[in-house]
A and B are shown apart, each in its own frame.
Chain A
Amino acid sequence: MKSRLLLAVMALLCLSLMSFGCASKKVAGPDKDNWEEQERERLARERELREKLGRVAGELGTMIHFDFDRYDLKPEARQVLTRKAEIMKQYPEIKLVVEGHCDQRGTAEYNLALGERRARAAADYLVNLGVPTAKLSIVSYGKERPLDPGNNEAAWSKNRRDEFKPSF
Protein backbone atom coordinates (compact mmCIF):
# COMPACT_ATOMS: atom_id res chain seq x y z
CA MET A 1 0.00 0.00 0.00
CA LYS A 2 2.83 2.28 1.04
CA SER A 3 4.71 1.64 -2.17
CA ARG A 4 1.56 2.42 -4.23
CA LEU A 5 1.22 5.70 -2.41
CA LEU A 6 4.86 6.44 -3.02
CA LEU A 7 4.45 5.67 -6.72
CA ALA A 8 1.44 7.96 -6.93
CA VAL A 9 3.34 10.79 -5.23
CA MET A 10 6.31 10.29 -7.55
CA ALA A 11 4.04 10.32 -10.60
CA LEU A 12 2.47 13.56 -9.43
CA LEU A 13 5.89 15.06 -8.81
CA CYS A 14 7.05 14.04 -12.31
CA LEU A 15 3.95 15.59 -13.85
CA SER A 16 4.53 18.80 -11.94
CA LEU A 17 8.17 18.93 -13.03
CA MET A 18 7.22 18.44 -16.65
CA SER A 19 4.70 21.21 -16.51
CA PHE A 20 7.05 24.23 -16.25
CA GLY A 21 6.26 26.62 -18.95
CA CYS A 22 3.05 24.76 -19.66
CA ALA A 23 1.08 25.55 -16.52
CA SER A 24 0.19 29.06 -17.55
CA LYS A 25 -0.24 28.04 -21.18
CA LYS A 26 -3.36 25.92 -21.00
CA VAL A 27 -5.15 28.37 -23.27
CA ALA A 28 -2.68 28.00 -26.10
CA GLY A 29 -2.92 29.56 -29.45
CA PRO A 30 -5.21 32.55 -29.75
CA ASP A 31 -3.73 35.58 -31.46
CA LYS A 32 -2.71 38.32 -29.08
CA ASP A 33 -3.56 41.50 -30.91
CA ASN A 34 -2.67 43.55 -27.86
CA TRP A 35 0.47 41.72 -26.80
CA GLU A 36 2.34 44.98 -26.24
CA GLU A 37 -0.43 46.34 -24.04
CA GLN A 38 -0.57 43.14 -21.96
CA GLU A 39 3.19 43.16 -21.56
CA ARG A 40 3.23 46.84 -20.59
CA GLU A 41 0.54 46.24 -17.92
CA ARG A 42 2.35 43.18 -16.59
CA LEU A 43 5.64 45.05 -16.26
CA ALA A 44 3.92 47.98 -14.50
CA ARG A 45 2.25 45.64 -12.00
CA GLU A 46 5.52 43.85 -11.38
CA ARG A 47 7.24 47.17 -10.66
CA GLU A 48 4.51 48.00 -8.14
CA LEU A 49 4.89 44.58 -6.55
CA ARG A 50 8.65 44.99 -6.21
CA GLU A 51 8.21 48.38 -4.55
CA LYS A 52 5.65 46.91 -2.16
CA LEU A 53 7.93 43.98 -1.29
CA GLY A 54 10.95 46.22 -0.65
CA ARG A 55 13.83 44.27 0.92
CA VAL A 56 12.15 40.92 0.26
CA ALA A 57 12.15 41.64 -3.49
CA GLY A 58 15.88 42.25 -3.26
CA GLU A 59 16.42 38.94 -1.52
CA LEU A 60 14.18 37.10 -3.96
CA GLY A 61 16.14 38.70 -6.78
CA THR A 62 19.55 37.40 -5.72
CA MET A 63 21.14 35.81 -8.79
CA ILE A 64 22.85 32.44 -9.04
CA HIS A 65 25.74 31.64 -11.38
CA PHE A 66 26.87 28.67 -13.44
CA ASP A 67 30.08 27.23 -14.87
CA PHE A 68 30.76 27.35 -18.61
CA ASP A 69 28.35 25.21 -20.65
CA ARG A 70 26.88 23.79 -17.38
CA TYR A 71 23.46 24.01 -15.82
CA ASP A 72 23.98 22.05 -12.59
CA LEU A 73 23.49 24.03 -9.37
CA LYS A 74 26.58 24.87 -7.33
CA PRO A 75 26.36 24.58 -3.49
CA GLU A 76 26.16 28.37 -3.07
CA ALA A 77 23.34 28.48 -5.61
CA ARG A 78 21.42 25.85 -3.62
CA GLN A 79 21.74 28.02 -0.50
CA VAL A 80 20.37 31.03 -2.33
CA LEU A 81 17.47 28.98 -3.69
CA THR A 82 16.69 27.55 -0.25
CA ARG A 83 16.27 31.08 1.10
CA LYS A 84 14.01 31.95 -1.84
CA ALA A 85 11.82 28.92 -1.11
CA GLU A 86 11.44 30.09 2.50
CA ILE A 87 10.35 33.55 1.37
CA MET A 88 7.93 32.07 -1.17
CA LYS A 89 6.29 30.11 1.62
CA GLN A 90 5.97 33.29 3.71
CA TYR A 91 4.36 35.14 0.80
CA PRO A 92 2.15 32.57 -0.91
CA GLU A 93 0.61 35.24 -3.17
CA ILE A 94 3.95 35.91 -4.88
CA LYS A 95 4.98 34.17 -8.08
CA LEU A 96 8.54 34.02 -9.33
CA VAL A 97 9.87 34.33 -12.89
CA VAL A 98 13.18 32.49 -13.32
CA GLU A 99 15.29 33.92 -16.17
CA GLY A 100 18.13 31.82 -17.63
CA HIS A 101 21.11 33.66 -19.17
CA CYS A 102 24.32 32.61 -20.93
CA ASP A 103 27.67 34.19 -21.73
CA GLN A 104 28.52 35.59 -25.16
CA ARG A 105 30.62 32.74 -26.51
CA GLY A 106 27.92 30.47 -27.86
CA THR A 107 25.44 31.37 -30.59
CA ALA A 108 21.98 32.77 -29.96
CA GLU A 109 19.59 29.88 -30.63
CA TYR A 110 21.60 27.14 -28.92
CA ASN A 111 22.13 29.50 -25.97
CA LEU A 112 18.37 30.01 -25.67
CA ALA A 113 18.07 26.26 -25.06
CA LEU A 114 21.00 26.29 -22.62
CA GLY A 115 19.52 29.28 -20.76
CA GLU A 116 16.25 27.42 -20.50
CA ARG A 117 18.04 24.47 -18.86
CA ARG A 118 19.60 26.85 -16.31
CA ALA A 119 16.23 28.40 -15.49
CA ARG A 120 14.62 24.98 -15.28
CA ALA A 121 17.35 23.67 -12.95
CA ALA A 122 16.59 26.42 -10.42
CA ALA A 123 12.82 26.04 -10.81
CA ASP A 124 13.04 22.25 -10.32
CA TYR A 125 15.08 22.79 -7.14
CA LEU A 126 12.49 25.23 -5.77
CA VAL A 127 9.73 22.69 -6.48
CA ASN A 128 11.71 20.07 -4.59
CA LEU A 129 11.75 22.50 -1.66
CA GLY A 130 7.96 22.70 -1.76
CA VAL A 131 7.27 25.73 -3.95
CA PRO A 132 4.19 24.95 -6.10
CA THR A 133 4.92 24.79 -9.84
CA ALA A 134 2.04 27.17 -10.45
CA LYS A 135 4.06 29.84 -8.60
CA LEU A 136 6.97 29.55 -11.00
CA SER A 137 7.55 30.36 -14.64
CA ILE A 138 10.75 30.20 -16.62
CA VAL A 139 12.03 32.26 -19.53
CA SER A 140 15.36 31.99 -21.30
CA TYR A 141 17.19 35.03 -22.64
CA GLY A 142 20.17 33.03 -23.89
CA LYS A 143 22.93 35.54 -24.56
CA GLU A 144 20.54 38.32 -25.52
CA ARG A 145 20.77 40.32 -22.28
CA PRO A 146 24.31 40.26 -20.89
CA LEU A 147 25.05 42.02 -17.58
CA ASP A 148 28.58 42.74 -18.73
CA PRO A 149 29.30 43.14 -22.46
CA GLY A 150 33.02 42.49 -21.92
CA ASN A 151 34.86 39.78 -23.82
CA ASN A 152 36.76 38.15 -20.96
CA GLU A 153 36.21 35.48 -18.29
CA ALA A 154 35.22 38.06 -15.64
CA ALA A 155 32.36 39.25 -17.87
CA TRP A 156 31.40 35.76 -19.04
CA SER A 157 31.14 34.40 -15.49
CA LYS A 158 28.84 37.30 -14.52
CA ASN A 159 26.62 36.59 -17.51
CA ARG A 160 26.18 32.83 -16.89
CA ARG A 161 23.34 33.29 -14.43
CA ASP A 162 19.72 32.92 -13.39
CA GLU A 163 17.84 36.07 -12.47
CA PHE A 164 14.63 36.01 -10.42
CA LYS A 165 11.75 38.48 -10.75
CA PRO A 166 8.83 38.53 -8.28
CA SER A 167 5.57 38.45 -10.19
CA PHE A 168 1.88 38.12 -9.34
Chain B
Amino acid sequence: MTSLRSLLVCAFAALALAATVVDSRAQDTLAIEIQGPGQARMNIVQSKPFADGNMPADAQYLNELIRKNLAFMPFLKVMSDTDILGGATLPGPKAEQIDFKPFSLAKVDLLVTAVWKPGKGLGDVELRAFEVFSQKLLLGKVYGSVTRDQLPEVADRFCMELMALLTGQGTIFKAKLAFVKPSGKGKDIWMVGAMGRDLAQVTRYGDLGMAISPAWSWDGGRICFTLIGSTSHYLGVWSGGKANVFTLPSSTVISPHYMPNGTVAVALNIRGNTDIYSLDSSFKNTAGTLVADSSIDVSPSFDQSGNLMAFVSDRLGNPNIFIKDLSGGSVRRASKSGYNTNPSMSPDGKYIAYSKQAGGGHRIFVYELATDTEKQVSFGPGSDENPSFAPDSYFIAFSTSRSGGRKIYLTTRNGDGAVQIPTGEGDALMPSFSPVVAKD
Protein backbone atom coordinates (compact mmCIF):
# COMPACT_ATOMS: atom_id res chain seq x y z
CA MET B 1 0.00 0.00 0.00
CA THR B 2 3.04 2.26 0.39
CA SER B 3 3.37 2.36 -3.38
CA LEU B 4 -0.27 3.29 -3.70
CA ARG B 5 0.23 6.07 -1.18
CA SER B 6 3.16 7.53 -3.07
CA LEU B 7 1.15 7.32 -6.24
CA LEU B 8 -1.68 9.09 -4.53
CA VAL B 9 0.66 11.86 -3.40
CA CYS B 10 1.63 12.41 -7.04
CA ALA B 11 -2.00 12.25 -7.98
CA PHE B 12 -3.00 14.81 -5.38
CA ALA B 13 -0.24 17.11 -6.53
CA ALA B 14 -1.45 16.81 -10.10
CA LEU B 15 -4.94 17.72 -9.09
CA ALA B 16 -4.06 20.18 -6.35
CA LEU B 17 -5.10 23.23 -8.30
CA ALA B 18 -8.29 21.66 -9.48
CA ALA B 19 -9.10 20.40 -6.00
CA THR B 20 -8.68 23.87 -4.48
CA VAL B 21 -11.18 25.24 -6.94
CA VAL B 22 -13.41 22.21 -6.44
CA ASP B 23 -13.56 22.50 -2.66
CA SER B 24 -14.37 26.17 -2.70
CA ARG B 25 -17.16 25.46 -5.16
CA ALA B 26 -18.40 22.44 -3.29
CA GLN B 27 -19.24 24.44 -0.22
CA ASP B 28 -21.92 26.39 -1.99
CA THR B 29 -23.21 23.53 -4.11
CA LEU B 30 -24.40 20.10 -3.00
CA ALA B 31 -24.30 19.23 0.68
CA ILE B 32 -26.16 16.63 2.66
CA GLU B 33 -27.20 17.31 6.23
CA ILE B 34 -26.83 14.07 8.19
CA GLN B 35 -27.34 15.68 11.59
CA GLY B 36 -31.01 16.31 10.92
CA PRO B 37 -33.96 13.96 11.28
CA GLY B 38 -33.48 12.32 7.87
CA GLN B 39 -32.97 13.48 4.34
CA ALA B 40 -34.13 13.12 0.79
CA ARG B 41 -32.18 10.84 -1.52
CA MET B 42 -29.99 12.11 -4.34
CA ASN B 43 -29.87 10.28 -7.65
CA ILE B 44 -26.36 9.20 -8.58
CA VAL B 45 -25.18 7.36 -11.68
CA GLN B 46 -21.83 6.04 -12.85
CA SER B 47 -20.69 6.43 -16.43
CA LYS B 48 -19.31 3.39 -18.18
CA PRO B 49 -15.52 3.46 -17.83
CA PHE B 50 -13.76 5.34 -20.64
CA ALA B 51 -10.32 4.27 -21.80
CA ASP B 52 -7.88 6.69 -23.41
CA GLY B 53 -6.12 3.73 -25.03
CA ASN B 54 -6.76 0.07 -24.27
CA MET B 55 -9.53 -0.63 -21.75
CA PRO B 56 -8.08 -2.56 -18.77
CA ALA B 57 -9.89 -5.81 -18.06
CA ASP B 58 -10.61 -4.68 -14.50
CA ALA B 59 -12.12 -1.28 -15.38
CA GLN B 60 -15.63 -2.64 -14.88
CA TYR B 61 -14.55 -4.27 -11.60
CA LEU B 62 -13.63 -0.84 -10.19
CA ASN B 63 -17.00 0.51 -11.29
CA GLU B 64 -18.73 -2.37 -9.48
CA LEU B 65 -16.71 -1.74 -6.31
CA ILE B 66 -17.68 1.93 -6.35
CA ARG B 67 -21.31 1.02 -7.06
CA LYS B 68 -21.39 -1.33 -4.05
CA ASN B 69 -19.90 1.37 -1.84
CA LEU B 70 -22.43 3.96 -3.01
CA ALA B 71 -25.26 1.51 -2.28
CA PHE B 72 -24.31 1.72 1.42
CA MET B 73 -25.06 5.44 1.44
CA PRO B 74 -28.73 5.74 2.38
CA PHE B 75 -28.95 9.29 1.07
CA LEU B 76 -27.95 8.19 -2.45
CA LYS B 77 -30.14 6.34 -4.94
CA VAL B 78 -27.81 4.53 -7.33
CA MET B 79 -29.31 4.59 -10.82
CA SER B 80 -28.52 2.23 -13.68
CA ASP B 81 -26.82 3.52 -16.83
CA THR B 82 -29.84 2.18 -18.72
CA ASP B 83 -31.86 4.95 -17.01
CA ILE B 84 -29.94 7.43 -19.15
CA LEU B 85 -31.06 8.09 -22.72
CA GLY B 86 -28.36 6.56 -24.92
CA GLY B 87 -26.62 5.02 -21.88
CA ALA B 88 -24.19 6.64 -19.45
CA THR B 89 -21.24 6.76 -21.83
CA LEU B 90 -18.51 9.37 -22.08
CA PRO B 91 -17.69 10.78 -25.53
CA GLY B 92 -14.10 11.52 -24.58
CA PRO B 93 -11.60 11.70 -21.75
CA LYS B 94 -12.09 15.38 -20.94
CA ALA B 95 -14.68 16.73 -18.56
CA GLU B 96 -15.78 19.45 -20.99
CA GLN B 97 -16.74 16.75 -23.49
CA ILE B 98 -19.53 15.44 -21.24
CA ASP B 99 -23.06 16.09 -22.48
CA PHE B 100 -25.01 16.61 -19.24
CA LYS B 101 -28.44 16.87 -20.93
CA PRO B 102 -29.36 13.14 -20.91
CA PHE B 103 -28.34 13.00 -17.24
CA SER B 104 -30.36 16.08 -16.45
CA LEU B 105 -33.41 14.63 -18.24
CA ALA B 106 -33.11 11.45 -16.14
CA LYS B 107 -33.07 13.62 -12.99
CA VAL B 108 -29.54 12.60 -12.07
CA ASP B 109 -28.05 14.77 -9.33
CA LEU B 110 -24.54 13.33 -9.30
CA LEU B 111 -22.47 11.77 -12.07
CA VAL B 112 -19.36 9.69 -11.32
CA THR B 113 -16.93 9.08 -14.16
CA ALA B 114 -13.91 6.82 -14.56
CA VAL B 115 -11.28 7.54 -17.22
CA TRP B 116 -8.41 5.10 -17.67
CA LYS B 117 -5.07 6.14 -19.14
CA PRO B 118 -2.07 3.97 -20.05
CA GLY B 119 0.46 3.44 -17.27
CA LYS B 120 2.11 0.80 -15.14
CA GLY B 121 -0.06 -2.02 -13.80
CA LEU B 122 -3.61 -1.53 -15.01
CA GLY B 123 -2.79 2.11 -15.80
CA ASP B 124 -3.86 5.40 -14.23
CA VAL B 125 -7.50 5.98 -13.39
CA GLU B 126 -9.13 9.40 -13.03
CA LEU B 127 -12.27 9.35 -10.92
CA ARG B 128 -14.53 12.39 -10.90
CA ALA B 129 -17.87 13.36 -9.43
CA PHE B 130 -19.96 16.08 -11.11
CA GLU B 131 -23.04 17.93 -10.01
CA VAL B 132 -25.29 17.53 -13.04
CA PHE B 133 -27.48 20.61 -12.59
CA SER B 134 -24.58 23.08 -12.41
CA GLN B 135 -22.19 20.84 -14.41
CA LYS B 136 -19.60 21.53 -11.74
CA LEU B 137 -16.77 19.20 -10.83
CA LEU B 138 -17.21 18.30 -7.15
CA LEU B 139 -14.33 15.89 -6.72
CA GLY B 140 -11.48 14.71 -8.94
CA LYS B 141 -8.83 12.15 -8.02
CA VAL B 142 -6.14 10.36 -10.01
CA TYR B 143 -4.81 7.01 -8.85
CA GLY B 144 -1.62 6.11 -10.73
CA SER B 145 -0.27 2.71 -11.79
CA VAL B 146 -2.96 0.80 -9.93
CA THR B 147 -3.13 -2.98 -9.69
CA ARG B 148 -6.25 -5.13 -9.37
CA ASP B 149 -5.50 -5.74 -5.68
CA GLN B 150 -5.48 -1.99 -5.06
CA LEU B 151 -8.87 -1.35 -6.64
CA PRO B 152 -10.95 -1.97 -3.45
CA GLU B 153 -8.84 0.64 -1.64
CA VAL B 154 -9.13 3.04 -4.59
CA ALA B 155 -12.94 2.64 -4.46
CA ASP B 156 -13.00 3.14 -0.68
CA ARG B 157 -10.76 6.22 -0.78
CA PHE B 158 -12.73 7.89 -3.56
CA CYS B 159 -16.08 7.16 -1.90
CA MET B 160 -14.77 8.27 1.48
CA GLU B 161 -13.76 11.62 -0.04
CA LEU B 162 -17.08 11.93 -1.86
CA MET B 163 -19.06 11.21 1.29
CA ALA B 164 -16.89 13.61 3.31
CA LEU B 165 -17.52 16.28 0.68
CA LEU B 166 -21.28 15.71 0.76
CA THR B 167 -21.83 15.13 4.46
CA GLY B 168 -18.68 16.19 6.29
CA GLN B 169 -18.06 12.56 7.37
CA GLY B 170 -16.46 9.67 5.50
CA THR B 171 -15.01 7.46 8.20
CA ILE B 172 -17.45 4.62 7.61
CA PHE B 173 -15.31 3.45 4.68
CA LYS B 174 -12.42 2.75 7.03
CA ALA B 175 -14.36 1.44 10.01
CA LYS B 176 -14.05 -2.19 11.11
CA LEU B 177 -16.60 -4.53 12.62
CA ALA B 178 -15.98 -7.42 15.00
CA PHE B 179 -18.77 -9.97 15.02
CA VAL B 180 -19.64 -13.57 15.94
CA LYS B 181 -20.00 -16.59 13.69
CA PRO B 182 -21.12 -20.05 14.79
CA SER B 183 -18.41 -22.68 14.32
CA GLY B 184 -19.59 -26.20 14.99
CA LYS B 185 -21.11 -26.30 18.47
CA GLY B 186 -19.17 -23.19 19.43
CA LYS B 187 -18.86 -19.59 18.30
CA ASP B 188 -15.90 -17.53 17.16
CA ILE B 189 -15.04 -13.87 16.71
CA TRP B 190 -14.46 -12.54 13.19
CA MET B 191 -13.77 -9.08 11.77
CA VAL B 192 -14.64 -7.33 8.53
CA GLY B 193 -14.52 -3.83 7.02
CA ALA B 194 -17.80 -1.93 7.07
CA MET B 195 -18.08 -2.42 3.30
CA GLY B 196 -17.62 -6.19 3.67
CA ARG B 197 -13.92 -6.29 2.77
CA ASP B 198 -10.97 -7.92 4.56
CA LEU B 199 -13.02 -10.66 6.25
CA ALA B 200 -10.80 -12.43 8.82
CA GLN B 201 -11.27 -14.96 11.62
CA VAL B 202 -10.02 -13.71 14.99
CA THR B 203 -10.51 -16.72 17.32
CA ARG B 204 -10.57 -20.45 16.59
CA TYR B 205 -12.25 -22.17 19.52
CA GLY B 206 -14.55 -24.25 17.32
CA ASP B 207 -16.51 -26.80 19.39
CA LEU B 208 -14.52 -26.03 22.55
CA GLY B 209 -16.02 -22.70 23.48
CA MET B 210 -18.35 -19.87 22.62
CA ALA B 211 -16.67 -16.54 22.02
CA ILE B 212 -19.38 -13.86 22.06
CA SER B 213 -19.96 -10.14 22.78
CA PRO B 214 -16.86 -8.72 21.08
CA ALA B 215 -15.97 -5.08 21.82
CA TRP B 216 -13.08 -2.98 20.47
CA SER B 217 -10.64 -0.92 22.45
CA TRP B 218 -10.83 2.78 21.63
CA ASP B 219 -7.49 2.69 19.80
CA GLY B 220 -8.85 -0.04 17.51
CA GLY B 221 -6.02 -2.41 18.45
CA ARG B 222 -7.73 -4.89 20.79
CA ILE B 223 -10.96 -6.84 21.08
CA CYS B 224 -12.31 -8.13 24.39
CA PHE B 225 -15.02 -10.82 24.49
CA THR B 226 -16.78 -13.37 26.66
CA LEU B 227 -15.56 -16.94 26.29
CA ILE B 228 -18.04 -19.56 27.52
CA GLY B 229 -16.26 -22.76 28.51
CA SER B 230 -17.72 -26.01 29.85
CA THR B 231 -17.52 -24.99 33.52
CA SER B 232 -17.15 -21.21 33.52
CA HIS B 233 -17.05 -17.99 31.55
CA TYR B 234 -13.72 -16.30 30.85
CA LEU B 235 -12.54 -12.94 29.54
CA GLY B 236 -10.84 -13.12 26.15
CA VAL B 237 -8.54 -10.33 24.95
CA TRP B 238 -7.23 -10.26 21.38
CA SER B 239 -4.52 -7.88 20.24
CA GLY B 240 -3.26 -9.75 17.18
CA GLY B 241 -2.32 -13.42 17.02
CA LYS B 242 -3.88 -15.77 19.53
CA ALA B 243 -6.25 -14.27 22.09
CA ASN B 244 -5.35 -14.38 25.79
CA VAL B 245 -7.84 -16.00 28.15
CA PHE B 246 -8.27 -14.65 31.68
CA THR B 247 -10.07 -16.22 34.63
CA LEU B 248 -11.97 -13.57 36.56
CA PRO B 249 -13.21 -13.72 40.15
CA SER B 250 -16.66 -14.79 38.87
CA SER B 251 -17.81 -17.76 36.81
CA THR B 252 -20.15 -15.36 35.03
CA VAL B 253 -18.47 -12.89 32.67
CA ILE B 254 -20.95 -10.91 30.60
CA SER B 255 -20.67 -8.08 28.08
CA PRO B 256 -17.06 -6.87 28.49
CA HIS B 257 -16.59 -3.41 27.00
CA TYR B 258 -13.59 -1.11 26.76
CA MET B 259 -13.80 2.27 28.40
CA PRO B 260 -12.08 5.15 26.57
CA ASN B 261 -9.19 5.09 29.09
CA GLY B 262 -8.36 1.49 28.14
CA THR B 263 -9.98 -0.12 31.18
CA VAL B 264 -12.34 -3.06 30.63
CA ALA B 265 -15.82 -2.80 32.18
CA VAL B 266 -17.68 -6.09 32.55
CA ALA B 267 -20.72 -7.60 34.28
CA LEU B 268 -19.70 -10.14 36.96
CA ASN B 269 -21.48 -11.96 39.74
CA ILE B 270 -19.32 -11.47 42.81
CA ARG B 271 -21.87 -10.64 45.50
CA GLY B 272 -24.84 -12.75 44.39
CA ASN B 273 -26.02 -10.34 41.66
CA THR B 274 -24.78 -9.52 38.20
CA ASP B 275 -23.26 -6.06 38.57
CA ILE B 276 -20.92 -3.96 36.40
CA TYR B 277 -17.30 -3.55 37.44
CA SER B 278 -14.14 -2.07 35.98
CA LEU B 279 -11.09 -4.35 35.95
CA ASP B 280 -7.50 -3.55 36.76
CA SER B 281 -4.96 -3.68 33.94
CA SER B 282 -3.93 -7.27 34.75
CA PHE B 283 -7.55 -8.49 34.66
CA LYS B 284 -6.87 -10.20 37.99
CA ASN B 285 -9.14 -8.03 40.10
CA THR B 286 -11.94 -5.58 39.91
CA ALA B 287 -10.72 -1.99 40.15
CA GLY B 288 -14.06 -0.36 40.87
CA THR B 289 -17.82 -0.85 40.92
CA LEU B 290 -19.70 0.99 38.18
CA VAL B 291 -23.22 -0.25 38.98
CA ALA B 292 -24.30 -2.58 41.79
CA ASP B 293 -27.75 -3.32 43.16
CA SER B 294 -30.04 -6.29 43.72
CA SER B 295 -31.08 -6.48 40.05
CA ILE B 296 -29.36 -7.74 36.89
CA ASP B 297 -27.03 -5.06 35.48
CA VAL B 298 -25.27 -5.87 32.19
CA SER B 299 -24.13 -4.48 28.82
CA PRO B 300 -22.16 -1.29 29.59
CA SER B 301 -21.46 1.08 26.68
CA PHE B 302 -19.58 4.38 26.84
CA ASP B 303 -19.29 7.67 24.99
CA GLN B 304 -15.86 8.87 23.92
CA SER B 305 -15.53 11.21 26.91
CA GLY B 306 -15.90 8.25 29.27
CA ASN B 307 -18.36 10.26 31.37
CA LEU B 308 -21.54 8.56 30.19
CA MET B 309 -22.36 4.87 30.48
CA ALA B 310 -25.47 3.25 29.04
CA PHE B 311 -26.37 -0.12 30.55
CA VAL B 312 -29.21 -2.62 31.01
CA SER B 313 -30.90 -3.10 34.37
CA ASP B 314 -34.07 -4.93 35.38
CA ARG B 315 -34.34 -2.91 38.60
CA LEU B 316 -37.87 -1.83 37.62
CA GLY B 317 -39.01 -5.27 36.43
CA ASN B 318 -38.35 -5.67 32.74
CA PRO B 319 -34.85 -5.02 31.45
CA ASN B 320 -34.49 -1.38 30.41
CA ILE B 321 -31.78 1.03 29.28
CA PHE B 322 -30.33 3.38 31.89
CA ILE B 323 -27.67 6.07 31.67
CA LYS B 324 -25.16 6.71 34.40
CA ASP B 325 -23.18 9.95 34.64
CA LEU B 326 -19.89 8.49 35.84
CA SER B 327 -18.56 11.84 37.02
CA GLY B 328 -21.62 12.81 39.07
CA GLY B 329 -23.03 9.35 39.80
CA SER B 330 -26.62 10.11 38.80
CA VAL B 331 -28.63 7.42 36.97
CA ARG B 332 -31.63 7.96 34.74
CA ARG B 333 -33.84 5.74 32.64
CA ALA B 334 -33.67 6.07 28.85
CA SER B 335 -36.01 3.48 27.25
CA LYS B 336 -39.64 4.18 27.99
CA SER B 337 -41.44 0.86 28.18
CA GLY B 338 -41.20 -2.86 27.46
CA TYR B 339 -38.14 -5.10 27.19
CA ASN B 340 -35.06 -3.12 26.10
CA THR B 341 -31.51 -4.49 25.89
CA ASN B 342 -28.19 -4.25 23.97
CA PRO B 343 -27.45 -0.52 24.35
CA SER B 344 -24.79 1.08 22.15
CA MET B 345 -23.95 4.67 23.02
CA SER B 346 -22.89 6.85 20.08
CA PRO B 347 -19.27 8.00 20.47
CA ASP B 348 -20.45 11.65 20.54
CA GLY B 349 -22.63 10.82 23.57
CA LYS B 350 -25.83 12.13 21.97
CA TYR B 351 -27.69 8.88 21.22
CA ILE B 352 -28.20 5.31 22.42
CA ALA B 353 -29.24 2.56 20.01
CA TYR B 354 -30.84 -0.53 21.57
CA SER B 355 -33.11 -3.53 20.88
CA LYS B 356 -36.75 -3.29 21.96
CA GLN B 357 -38.85 -6.46 22.10
CA ALA B 358 -41.84 -6.10 19.78
CA GLY B 359 -44.21 -8.84 18.69
CA GLY B 360 -42.25 -11.98 17.88
CA GLY B 361 -38.85 -10.34 17.79
CA HIS B 362 -36.90 -7.17 18.49
CA ARG B 363 -36.53 -3.85 16.68
CA ILE B 364 -33.77 -1.26 16.87
CA PHE B 365 -34.65 2.02 18.54
CA VAL B 366 -32.56 5.16 19.03
CA TYR B 367 -32.88 7.31 22.13
CA GLU B 368 -31.79 10.95 21.93
CA LEU B 369 -30.41 12.23 25.23
CA ALA B 370 -31.06 15.93 24.54
CA THR B 371 -34.77 15.48 23.87
CA ASP B 372 -35.43 12.37 26.01
CA THR B 373 -37.22 10.74 23.08
CA GLU B 374 -36.93 7.35 21.40
CA LYS B 375 -37.46 6.50 17.73
CA GLN B 376 -37.74 3.20 15.87
CA VAL B 377 -35.06 2.82 13.18
CA SER B 378 -35.45 -0.82 12.08
CA PHE B 379 -38.59 -2.52 10.91
CA GLY B 380 -37.83 -6.22 10.43
CA PRO B 381 -39.19 -8.63 9.36
CA GLY B 382 -37.74 -11.19 11.77
CA SER B 383 -35.77 -9.96 14.74
CA ASP B 384 -33.29 -7.05 14.74
CA GLU B 385 -30.78 -7.13 17.60
CA ASN B 386 -27.38 -5.93 18.86
CA PRO B 387 -27.09 -2.44 17.34
CA SER B 388 -23.63 -0.87 17.31
CA PHE B 389 -22.90 2.77 16.51
CA ALA B 390 -20.16 3.48 13.95
CA PRO B 391 -17.34 5.94 14.82
CA ASP B 392 -19.26 8.72 13.04
CA SER B 393 -22.25 8.35 15.43
CA TYR B 394 -24.42 8.16 12.28
CA PHE B 395 -24.34 4.63 10.89
CA ILE B 396 -25.59 1.68 12.98
CA ALA B 397 -24.80 -1.99 12.35
CA PHE B 398 -27.17 -4.63 13.71
CA SER B 399 -27.89 -8.33 13.32
CA THR B 400 -31.17 -9.45 11.84
CA SER B 401 -33.03 -12.60 10.79
CA ARG B 402 -34.93 -10.76 8.03
CA SER B 403 -33.29 -12.68 5.20
CA GLY B 404 -33.26 -16.10 6.91
CA GLY B 405 -30.47 -17.07 9.27
CA ARG B 406 -28.79 -14.12 10.95
CA LYS B 407 -26.91 -11.49 8.98
CA ILE B 408 -25.45 -8.04 9.68
CA TYR B 409 -27.04 -4.95 8.16
CA LEU B 410 -26.13 -1.28 8.15
CA THR B 411 -28.64 1.49 8.70
CA THR B 412 -28.43 4.99 10.14
CA ARG B 413 -29.76 6.62 13.26
CA ASN B 414 -32.48 8.08 11.03
CA GLY B 415 -33.69 4.58 10.11
CA ASP B 416 -32.68 4.73 6.45
CA GLY B 417 -33.05 1.60 4.30
CA ALA B 418 -30.80 -1.13 5.70
CA VAL B 419 -28.09 -2.70 3.52
CA GLN B 420 -26.50 -6.09 4.19
CA ILE B 421 -22.78 -6.17 5.00
CA PRO B 422 -21.15 -9.19 3.33
CA THR B 423 -19.78 -11.54 6.01
CA GLY B 424 -19.27 -14.77 4.06
CA GLU B 425 -21.06 -18.08 4.50
CA GLY B 426 -23.22 -18.84 7.53
CA ASP B 427 -24.75 -16.72 10.26
CA ALA B 428 -23.21 -13.48 11.50
CA LEU B 429 -24.33 -11.76 14.69
CA MET B 430 -23.34 -9.39 17.50
CA PRO B 431 -21.64 -6.72 15.35
CA SER B 432 -19.41 -4.25 17.13
CA PHE B 433 -17.86 -1.22 15.42
CA SER B 434 -14.35 -0.11 16.20
CA PRO B 435 -14.94 3.19 18.06
CA VAL B 436 -11.99 4.93 16.44
CA VAL B 437 -10.82 4.27 12.92
CA ALA B 438 -7.41 2.58 12.79
CA LYS B 439 -4.62 4.82 11.54
CA ASP B 440 -2.90 4.09 8.22
Contact = CB atoms under 8 A, between A and B. Distances in A.
Contacts of B242: 33
Contacts of B246: 29-32
Given A108-B386, A113-B298, A29 B247 contact: yes
Contact of A107 (B274, B285, B385): B385
B298 A109 contact: yes
B270 A22 contact: yes
B272 A21 contact: no
A40 B299 contact: no
B211 to A, nearest CB: 11
Contact of B249 (A28, A46, A140, A145): A28
Interface stretch (B45-53, B168-176, B224-232): B224-232
Interface in A1-48: 17-18, 20-22, 24-25, 27-33, 35-36, 39-40, 42-43, 46
Given A109-B213, A110-B298, A116-B252, A25 B234 contact: no
B274 A116 contact: yes
Contacts of A114: 296
B414 interface: no
Given A25-B232, A39-B209, A112-B252, A18 B272 contact: yes
Contacts of B267: 109, 113
B375 interface: no
Contact of B341 (A21, A31, A40, A107): A107
A106 B274 contact: no
A151 B296 CA distance: 26
Nearest to B243: A35
Interface of A is mostly: mixed
Nearest to A95: B231
A137 B252 CA distance: 11
The interface size bin for chain B is: 35 or more
Given A28-B285, A31-B246, A39-B229, A105 B430 contact: no
Given A21-B250, A29-B282, A139-B228, A109 B255 contact: yes
B12 interface: no
Interface string B385-403: 1100000000000000000
Interface residues of A, number: 44
A29 B286 CA distance: 11
Contacts of B386: 107-108
Nearest to A34: B245
B248 interface: yes
**Of residues A30, A108, A137, A139, which shows the largest number of chain B Cβ atoms within 10 Å of its Cβ?**
A108
B355 interface: yes
A14 to B, nearest CB: 9
Interface string B198-220: 00000001001110110000000
B238 interface: no
Interface of A: 17-18, 20-22, 24-25, 27-33, 35-36, 39-40, 42-43, 46, 97, 105-110, 112-114, 116-117, 120, 137-141, 144-145, 151, 165, 167
22 contacts: A24-B231, A24-B251, A25-B247, A25-B250, A28-B248, A31-B244, A32-B234, A42-B230, A43-B208, A97-B230, A107-B341, A108-B385, A108-B430, A110-B296, A110-B312, A112-B226, A113-B298, A120-B269, A137-B232, A138-B252, A139-B251, A141-B228
